Structure formats: structure tokens, C-alpha cells
């Protein structure tokens, strides 16, 4: 009886220890690259209306992955610049309608040698993958953000001005020698604003 009780207890404890994992579409580093680019794009943002004006931020046409973070960054920049954010058009002196030109990632790789390739081997287009054979390679991952918008009077729709595209980038760079020795920045740390000189970060 004691042995059966011990086995049953072990099974219960094993069942309680099970875990599950999720697989999001972007890694944490990719998300942080885009977020830092959005932060840089809105630095120093001002509107062509007097400071202290009540502004309603209209993000109905702002369509992009990570849009919520970018809109919040824009709202924070407006607040820092001295504008009063309001929750409805009825309370506003101006409506600021946003649009996103870009809010995504660029990846660039430079190779001294042969890059990885897919080579067709017969008439039915079956392919074989050939791995990279390089002396040196460099990888750049860049978060890119571009926003713009225009302002109008909420009651009449009369134009009040426009904001030229706000552009921000955040880049990390890594290097590899003989496909083995790697240096430079591999990831972004939360809260990090400047990746520094990747040649010195081993």
C-alpha cells in the first residue's frame, strides 16, 4: 500500500510540473529593434499649432505591426512637447491623424566568400541547399520606423497643418570570421537606447 501511495504521489507531482511554451511571430530582439526605432522617430516631435493646444490623436488609419507601441510613443512625445491630449474630438482644438509609412525590420548580410544558396539539380526543379562558405560575414538587423500625419479643425475639418515624415532607425551589427569566430552585438537588451560600437563588443 505504501508503494502504491508513493507511485501515485509521484505521478501527481509530475503532472503538476508540466509547462507550455509559445512561439510568437517575432523574437524579443526584433520587437525591441522596432520599438527603439519608433522611439527615435518621435524625438523632438512638435505640431504646427500653439503649445498647450488640446489634441485628439486619431490612429484609425495607423496600420502596422507594433502599432500600439508606436502610437503610445507619439502620444508621449506630444505630451512632453506641452500639448494636452484629450479623449474625444469634441474636447479637441485639433485632430492629429496619423499614418505609418514603415514600422518593420530590414536585414542585410555581406559575405566575403559564397553565401548560402539553393541550386536546382534536375528538370523538375528539385533543389539542394548549399551552406555558406565564407571567410568573413557581417549581419545588420535594423528596425525602421516612419510616421507622418496632418492636423485639422475637429468641427469644420479645416486644415491646420501637416507633420513631415518622422524617421527613426535602430541598428545592431554582428560579425563572423571563418564561420566560427563571432563578435559584435547579437541581441538588444530591454531599455537599451544605443548599441555602441560592435567592433569593440566581443
Please identify which residue in the block is written with the cell numbers 519608433.
38
Are 164 and 148 within 8 A, CB to CB? yes
Q: What does the DSSP assignment read for 94-113?
A: EEEEEEEEEEEEEEEEEEEE
The predicted structure's pLDDT at residue 10: 53
Q: State pLDDT tens for residues 72-97.
A: 999 999 999 999 999 999 999 999 99
The predicted structure's pLDDT at residue 9: 54
- Which whole number is the average pLDDT over 171-187? 88
Percent of the chain with pLDDT over 90: 57
Which residue in 184, 186, 163 sits closest to 175, CA to CA? Answer: 184
Q: What share of the chain is helix, strand, coil (3-state, %, to 5)?
A: 25, 40, 40
Q: State pLDDT tens for residues 21-52.
A: 666 778 888 999 999 999 999 999 999 999 99
Q: State pLDDT tens for residues 104-146.
A: 999 998 999 888 888 887 777 788 888 888 899 999 999 999 9
Whether pTM > 0.95 for this model: the answer is no
Amino acid at each position: 500500500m505504501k508503494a502504491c501511495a508513493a507511485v501515485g504521489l509521484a505521478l501527481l507531482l509530475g503532472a503538476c510540473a508540466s509547462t507550455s511554451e509559445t512561439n510568437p511571430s517575432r523574437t524579443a530582439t526584433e520587437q525591441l529593434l522596432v520599438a527603439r526605432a519608433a522611439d527615435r522617430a518621435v524625438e523632438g516631435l512638435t505640431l504646427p499649432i500653439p503649445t498647450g493646444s488640446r489634441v485628439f490623436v486619431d490612429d484609425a488609419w495607423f496600420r502596422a505591426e507594433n502599432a500600439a507601441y508606436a502610437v503610445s510613443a507619439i502620444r508621449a512625445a506630444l505630451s512632453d512637447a506641452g500639448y494636452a491630449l484629450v479623449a474625444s474630438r469634441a474636447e479637441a482644438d485639433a485632430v492629429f491623424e496619423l499614418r505609418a509609412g514603415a514600422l518593420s525590420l530590414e536585414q542585410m548580410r555581406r559575405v566575403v566568400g559564397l553565401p548560402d544558396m539553393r541550386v536546382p539539380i534536375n528538370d523538375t526543379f528539385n533543389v539542394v541547399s548549399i551552406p555558406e562558405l565564407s571567410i568573413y560575414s557581417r549581419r545588420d538587423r535594423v528596425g525602421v520606423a516612419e510616421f507622418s500625419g496632418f492636423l485639422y479643425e475637429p468641427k469644420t475639418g479645416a486644415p491646420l497643418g501637416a507633420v513631415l515624415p518622422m524617421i527613426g532607425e535602430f541598428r545592431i551589427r554582428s560579425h563572423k570570421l571563418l564561420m566560427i569566430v563571432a563578435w559584435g552585438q547579437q541581441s538588444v537588451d530591454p531599455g537599451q537606447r544605443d548599441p555602441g560600437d560592435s567592433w569593440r563588443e566581443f
